[in-house]
Amino acid sequence: MTSDDGPAPAHQPLTVEDVVAPALVSGRAFFRAPYDAATGRAFAALAVGWIWHLTGGLTLWILVLVSAGVVPALGVGIPLLALSLVAARWFGAVERARIAAQTGVAIPAPPPLGGAPRGFWSRLWAPIRDSRAWAATLYAFLALLLTSVFFAVTTGLAAGSAAAVVFAAIGRGSALAEWTGLSWPATVVGALAAAVVLGWAAATLAQYGSYLMVRLATILLGPSAADVARHRAAVAEHETRLAEAAAHTARERAVVLTESRTAAVSAADTERRRIERDLHDGAQQRLVALGVELGVARRLADKDPEHAVAALELAHREIKETLAELRDLVRGIHPAVLADRGLDAALSALAGRSPVPVRVEVTGDLTPAGSAAQAAAYFVVAEALTNVAKHAGADSVRVQARLVPDEHPQRLRVTVSDDGRGGAELSPGSGLEGLRGRVAALDGTFELDSPPGKGTRLTVEVPCAS
């Protein structure tokens, strides 16, 4: 609906008032009513409607009244009344078409009578039981009264406005000035003011009369109350189906989340076992060897100082290798550079340790991404670079990281692409499968594109709120 500030926004649907009688709902449209196109359509609708109702509508009304009056005369009144009500249906169809053509408002047609009734009397009584035919008959009478009144009033006001203009044009005449008792300038000004007021009133009333005619036709020539109830029931059924579809989607989503959480738990258990194995097979064995070397050095300290020094040097080397291995192990759990300097620096550190040349491209600030999202991205890149070094046979790798602000919630996107042999697959128990479980646990997406002979492209997106 429009307002005094201007037309309605484009996203709001136009109402009947906006189309037929904008002067009633908009201050701007009210001031331009005398020269508005809606006013011309309204005058035409009232004029044509008055002629149509005075001929076809009045004829229909009289025919139905006469038919109903002679119903007691069996054999004549009932067939004539049925025929008259069939004509009422036809009159309503013509009236809806006329209103749509002249005002631009399409009135939906009432539903048909239904299947053809069986038997002569059933077919004869069907039009008489048609509530929409009786409503069309009532409309023929009321519309005749409405269009007659408004057409006569608006025509009179328009004629009065034109007469006032003529009055103003001859207002210089001394006889006219003497008759009004005013000077000729006052006579001209008063006549012009009367012309403007009468013209505005005629335009506004024409729009209002056309609006009333459309509303009356909508009520009496459109669907019945039972039809509206059925329509509402259909809308409710549609909404129910939408709700069921949403519930089905939610159930599927719950299944996906359950599977992703299970995968995350499995991945965490696998990671824990890997840490235990690395500690047992690596650091623990080195510490045992270190204890042995220190014991040898202690026994040889007095008897063979040279061998004791060699044992200490070996023990010192074992300590450095053990520390390096422990640092790698801790980095695999959660790298310190990620917490201290952020994902950008952590990716650069991974690229620096890779035996394959890596180009890191970070677009924008990645700080808004949560710690879980950054950790997931880090381990995806780390595992991808490890796979490239072991299996891809690539000459170069490209790592890209950026935020995707158009998504809601905002997402962190990481892409790792190489020019290797391709053919990578997500096999059960593989490192890539574990990474997919980690990403799925964060409600992220994991895409692997690795056609044979054309390199591998891994794209991961995780919500920043994770």
- Whether 102 and 48 have beta carbons less than 8 Å apart is answered as yes
- Whether 191 and 161 have beta carbons less than 8 Å apart is answered as no
Q: Where are the alpha helices (DSSP H) in 388-430?
A: none
- Whether 82 and 125 have beta carbons less than 8 Å apart is answered as yes
Whole-angstrom distance, CA of residue 274 vs CA of residue 258: 24
H/E stretch holding 446 reads: strand 445-449
Q: Where are the alpha helices (DSSP H) in 304-400?
A: 305-333, 336-353, 371-387
Mean pLDDT of 387-399: 83
pLDDT digits (tens, 9 = 90+) for 259-270: 666 666 566 656
pLDDT digits (tens, 9 = 90+) for 107-150: 888 877 655 556 566 666 777 777 888 888 899 999 999 999 99
Q: What token pair was written down for 327?
A: 């640092």
Q: What is the pLDDT of residue 13?
A: 65
- Whether 53 and 45 have beta carbons less than 8 Å apart is answered as no
380 pLDDT tier (thresholds 50, 70, 90)? confident
Most confident of 6-10, 185-189, 238-242, 438-442: 238-242
Q: What percent of the chain has pLDDT over 70?
A: 68
Q: What is the pLDDT of residue 149?
A: 92
Q: Give the closest residue to 383 by CA, choosing from 423, 332, 447, 340.
A: 332
Whole-angstrom distance, CA of residue 275 vs CA of residue 270: 9
pLDDT of 174 higher than 60:
no
Side chain identity at 461, as an amino acid letter? E
pLDDT of 271 higher than 70:
no
Q: What token pair was written down for 52?
A: 């149509």
- Count of beta carbons in the 10 Å neighbourhood of residue 22: 25
- b (16+ CB within 10 A) / e for 251-278: eeeeeeeeebeebbeebeeeeeeeeeeb
Mean pLDDT of 341-356: 82
The phi and psi torsions of 408 (rounded to 5 degrees) equal -130, 115
7 pLDDT tier (thresholds 50, 70, 90)? very low
- CA neighbours closer than 13 Å in the CB half-sphere of residue 299: 6
Most confident of 124-128, 166-170, 269-273, 324-328: 124-128
Mean pLDDT of 292-317: 71
Whole-angstrom distance, CA of residue 424 vs CA of residue 275: 25
Higher pLDDT, 159 or 195: 159
Mean pLDDT of 188-200: 74
SS3 269: helix
Q: Give the closest residue to 79 by CA, choosing from 119, 38, 16, 123.
A: 123
Q: What DSSP state is assigned to residue 35?
A: G
Q: Give the closest residue to 460 by CA, choosing from 416, 421, 429.
A: 416
pLDDT of 233 higher than 70:
yes
- Whether 414 and 439 have beta carbons less than 8 Å apart is answered as no
- What DSSP line would sit under 359-375, residue for residue? EEEEES--TTS-HHHHH
pLDDT of 205 higher than 70:
yes
454 pLDDT tier (thresholds 50, 70, 90)? confident
Q: What is the pLDDT of residue 181?
A: 53
Q: What token pair was written down for 455?
A: 């390199």
Q: What is the pLDDT of residue 267?
A: 61
Whole-angstrom distance, CA of residue 293 vs CA of residue 311: 6
> Who contacts 226 (Cβ-Cβ below 8 Å, separation ≥6)?
none
Higher pLDDT, 286 or 382: 382
pLDDT digits (tens, 9 = 90+) for 410-446: 788 888 888 888 777 776 666 677 677 777 777 778 8
pLDDT of 26 higher than 80:
no
Mean pLDDT of 341-351: 81
Q: What is the pLDDT of residue 1?
A: 37
Q: Where are the beta strands (DSSP E) in 120-211?
A: none
Q: What is the pLDDT of residue 450?
A: 81
Mean predicted lDDT score pLDDT of the chain: 76
Q: What is the pLDDT of residue 327?
A: 63
Most confident of 160-174, 206-220, 337-351: 206-220
Whole-angstrom distance, CA of residue 461 vs CA of residue 153: 71
SS3 string, 206-233, reads HHHHHHHHHHHHHHHHCCCHHHHHHHHH
Q: What is the pLDDT of residue 94?
A: 92
74 pLDDT tier (thresholds 50, 70, 90)? low
4 pLDDT tier (thresholds 50, 70, 90)? very low
